Amino acid sequence: MDVLYFAWVREGVGKAQERVDPPGDVVTVADLIDWLGHEVLRDKAKLRAAIDQRFVSLDTAIAGAREVAIFPPVTGG
């Protein structure tokens, strides 16, 4: 699956996206964040996520996802 990063998450990870193949025990978005292991992702309370371009909570399962995005709370408008 592709993992996309935005705003300060993107800057902290050092890239806008990466293709990963997590093992079977990585079940939820939160598991994926831990497995990715990027320092900037350590405080999950500051992170939001989307699966296949829909906002989800971090306890959502990633099974079947083509694209998971990880980003800070949104600040548009």
Partner 1 sequence: MIRVVVSAAPIDVGAEIVALDGLGGGAVATFTGLVRDDGGVGELLLEHYPGATEAALETLAAEAVARWKLAGAAVVHRVGVMTPGEPIVFVAACATHRSAALAACGFLIDRLKTDAPFWKRETRGGEARWVGERAGDHHAAAKWR
Could you say whether residue 73 binds partner 1 (CB under 8 A)? yes
- Should residue 55 be labelled a site residue for partner 1 when binding is judged by CB under 8 A? yes
Least Cα distance to 41 among 31, 52, 50 occurs for 31
CB 6 within 8 A of CB 48: no
Residue 2 identity: D
Within 15-44, the residues that bind partner 1 by CB under 8 A are none
Residue choice 2, 7, 34, 61 for contact with partner 1 (CB under 8 A): 7
Which of 39, 43, 53, 66 forms a contact with partner 1 (CB under 8 A)? Answer: 53
Structure tokens belonging to residue 27: 């079940």
